[in-house]
């Protein structure tokens, strides 16, 4: 049932003879909702209006008010001195699943983020996270066109909006690079995934929108702009995929790293970094000899000469170790197959061979003279 819903319930007691029926009218006036997450308990104190249906997604900018433990995030909306404002002014925001503290320097715990992801704008709840207790409110959810494109799937680019998509891809790739440097590989991979999603979305423009232009010159200009924007976004997506291959490689997923590198090399065969990372993935996948061939090729590239040489030495060392292990494993288990000796007649010496050849030639000459006579 829903809030305010009224239902008529009939209960029949068959234990009595004859059976007895009781009819009740039940209405839902309120309920006490508690949600238990990973180490987080949330109890709703105030529900938002029905219009605030959307919950925050990863990379959305949120503003939280209230307190949690010893951290004060500002007064709740009900305590704000000006009743004309539904929430305090925009300050102290942070990006979900990205920032470690708010804009004004207040710390953000993982449990708080897990709780905020289940809230709606205007919702107030009591929270228990470990030993920390408090009351928090999701005061505001900040959105603008570029932010929406970065954060969630509902705001795709408009047709021909390649510049905006390129900026979003660059921003997401920069976030991924930052997490990659910190060693947060899973978060870095998620940022690269989102960058590729933005790059692959064309906003409904499949390349033939230029036909809607009135004149032929306008069509040619529109088509050229579309192709230039498409290449612009594609270059940035290749960089994001290359970085994701490195993140997968560091995370131990050599197969996915190899697939990402091959996808980049399909569009850009001269991408030397992807060649090097693909060779590293091949080593982890057991294709050591193929990796050695790539390392040898990359030793001709000045910028990768040192790394390629180190990779080649490591691959050869691993190859020797594999071969030594195989020899040790099969030592004494494989027996030689006996070969049957075939007796051959003794060879004639040089004098015997000369005499036989001379007699043969004389006989042949005699037969020829007899036939001529």
For residues 118 and 161, the model is more confident at: 118
Strands 71-72 and 40-46: unpaired
Contacts of 52 (CB under 8 A, 6+ apart): 120, 121, 122, 123
pLDDT at 38: 67
When pLDDT is averaged across residues 119-135 and rounded to a whole number, the result is 88
Q: Which residue has the tokens 């009351």?
A: 135
Rounded to whole angstroms, the maximal C-alpha distance in the chain is 145
pLDDT at 309: 92
Q: With 90 as the cut, is the pLDDT of residue 177 above it?
A: yes
* DSSP 8-state code for residue 213: S
For 207-260, the pLDDT digits (tens) are 555 555 666 666 676 667 666 777 788 888 999 999 999 999 999 999 999 999
Q: With 60 as the cut, is the pLDDT of residue 81 above it?
A: no
When pLDDT is averaged across residues 316-320 and rounded to a whole number, the result is 89
Q: With 60 as the cut, is the pLDDT of residue 154 above it?
A: no
C-alpha–C-alpha distance, residues 288 and 292, integer Å? 6
pLDDT at 347: 61
When pLDDT is averaged across residues 175-193 and rounded to a whole number, the result is 93
For 271-297, the pLDDT digits (tens) are 999 999 999 999 999 898 999 999 999
The angle subtended at Cα 210 by Cα 206 and Cα 212, nearest 5°, is 110
- For 149-328, CATH gives 1.25.40.10
Which one, of 95, 188, 201, 91, lies nearest residue 147 by Cα?
Answer: 95
149-328: same fold as 34-142? no
For residues 345 and 156, the model is more confident at: 345
pLDDT at 319: 86
Q: With 70 as the cut, is the pLDDT of residue 164 above it?
A: yes
pLDDT at 75: 84
C-alpha–C-alpha distance, residues 290 and 311, integer Å? 12
Domain ranges, ordered by start, for the chain = 1-30, 34-142, 149-328
pLDDT at 272: 92
C-alpha–C-alpha distance, residues 354 and 131, integer Å? 110
For 7-64, the pLDDT digits (tens) are 888 888 877 777 788 898 888 776 556 666 667 888 888 887 766 667 888 888 888 9
Q: With 70 as the cut, is the pLDDT of residue 336 above it?
A: no
For the chain, what is the mean pLDDT? 80
For 25-40, the pLDDT digits (tens) are 888 776 556 666 667 8
C-alpha–C-alpha distance, residues 372 and 289, integer Å? 72
Cis peptide before 18 (omega within 30 of 0): yes
pLDDT at 280: 93
Q: What three-state secondary structure class fits 48?
A: coil
The angle subtended at Cα 301 by Cα 263 and Cα 320, nearest 5°, is 80
pLDDT at 208: 54
Taking each continuous run of H as one helix and of E as one strand, the counts in the chain are: 10, 9
When pLDDT is averaged across residues 172-189 and rounded to a whole number, the result is 93
| Domain covering 34-142, topology | Chitinase A; domain 3 (3.10.50)
The pTM for the full model equals 0.69
Number of neighbouring beta carbons within 10 Å of residue 293: 14
Q: With 70 as the cut, is the pLDDT of residue 166 above it?
A: yes
C-alpha–C-alpha distance, residues 312 and 310, integer Å? 5
Strands (E) across 116-258 are located at 124-129, 132-142
Instruction: Check: CB of residue 110 under 8 Å from CB of residue 40.
Output: no
Q: With 80 as the cut, is the pLDDT of residue 364 above it?
A: no
pLDDT at 2: 72
């Amino acid at each position: 049932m829903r809030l305010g819903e009224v239902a008529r319930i009939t209960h029949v007691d068959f234990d009595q003879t004859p059976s007895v029926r009781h009819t009740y009218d039940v209405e839902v006036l309120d309920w006490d909702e508690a949600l238990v997450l990973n180490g987080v308990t949330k109890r709703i104190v105030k529900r938002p209006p029905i219009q605030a249906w959307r919950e925050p997604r990863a990379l959305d900018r949120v503003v939280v008010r209230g307190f949690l433990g010893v951290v004060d995030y500002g007064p709740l909306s009900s305590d704000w001195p000006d009743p004309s404002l539904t929430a305090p002014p925009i300050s102290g925001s942070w990006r979900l699943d990205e920032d470690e503290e708010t804009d004004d320097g207040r710390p953000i715990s993982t449990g708080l983020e897990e709780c905020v992801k289940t809230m709606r704008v205007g919702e107030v709840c009591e929270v228990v996270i470990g030993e920390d207790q408090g009351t928090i409110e999701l005061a505001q959810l900040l959105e603008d066109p570029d932010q929406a494109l970065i954060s969630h799937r509902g705001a795709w680019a408009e047709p021909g909006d390649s510049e905006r998509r390129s900026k979003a891809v660059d921003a997401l790739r920069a976030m991924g690079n930052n997490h990659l440097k910190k060693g947060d590989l899973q978060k870095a991979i998620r940022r690269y995934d989102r960058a590729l999603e933005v790059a692959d979305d064309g906003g409904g423009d499949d390349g033939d929108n230029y036909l809607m232009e009135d004149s032929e010159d306008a069509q040619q200009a529109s088509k050229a702009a579309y192709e230039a924007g498409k290449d612009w976004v594609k270059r940035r997506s290749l960089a994001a995929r290359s970085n994701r291959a490195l993140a997968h490689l560091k995370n131990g997923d050599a197969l996915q790293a190899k697939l990402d590198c091959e996808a980049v090399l399909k569009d850009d065969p001269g991408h030397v970094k992807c060649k090097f990372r693909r060779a590293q993935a091949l080593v982890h996948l057991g294709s050591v000899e193929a990796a050695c061939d790539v390392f040898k090729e990359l030793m001709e590239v000045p910028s990768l000469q040192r790394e390629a040489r180190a990779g080649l030495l490591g691959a050869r060392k691993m190859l020797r170790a594999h071969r030594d292990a195989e020899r040790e494993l099969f030592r004494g288990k494989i027996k030689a197959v006996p070969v049957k000796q075939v007796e051959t007649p003794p060879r004639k010496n040089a004098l015997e061979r000369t005499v036989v050849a001379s007699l043969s030639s004389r006989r042949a000459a005699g037969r020829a003279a007899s036939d001529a006579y």
